[in-house]
Amino acid sequence: MSDTSSPVPSGTRVVMLSGDLMFASRVKSAAERAGCSFALGGKLPAGDLNDVGWVVLDLSTRSGLLPDVVQQCYQRCPGANLVAYGPHVQVEKLKAAREAGVTRVLTNGQFDAMLPQLFGS
């Protein structure tokens, strides 16, 4: 359920779009260990996004943002690696993310397993 052929991002900021504060703290820790800054929110931040290397979309809490986020990423931070993750039982959300053009679509388990090295790759 993943595409591992995505390019290495050029930026050093991780932007996570999620409503899950508990898991966001784990993502923040992984980002900071990799030397990246971290921002959590409900949508892409305003302003310059040239330093964004990763946009992480939590399909459990923010799947409604999917079409807009993909389009905004291509326009505002084209070098960013777009990652979406969600429960393996929510097959339609995972499929919709792939169809919308998300670079890497993972189940929660895959994302969790990949997290320690995700931002270093």
pTM for the predicted model, two decimal places? 0.87
Does the pLDDT value for residue 5 go beyond 90? no
- What's the rounded mean pLDDT across residues 16-42? 94
What's the pLDDT at 67? Answer: 87
- Contact status, residue 107 vs residue 76, Cβ threshold 8 Å: no
Q: Give the full edge-to-edge strand order of the sheet including 52-58.
A: 37-41, 13-17, 52-58, 81-86, 104-107
What's the pLDDT at 121? Answer: 57
Q: Where are the domains of the chain?
A: 13-43+50-118
Does the pLDDT value for residue 3 go beyond 50? no
The CATH number for 13-43+50-118, chosen from 1.10.3720.10, 3.30.70.100, 3.40.50.1100, 3.40.50.2300, is 3.40.50.2300
Question: How many C-beta neighbours within 10 Å does residue 12 have?
Answer: 15
- List pLDDT tens digits, range 57-110: 999 988 788 888 999 999 999 999 999 999 999 999 999 999 999 989 999 999
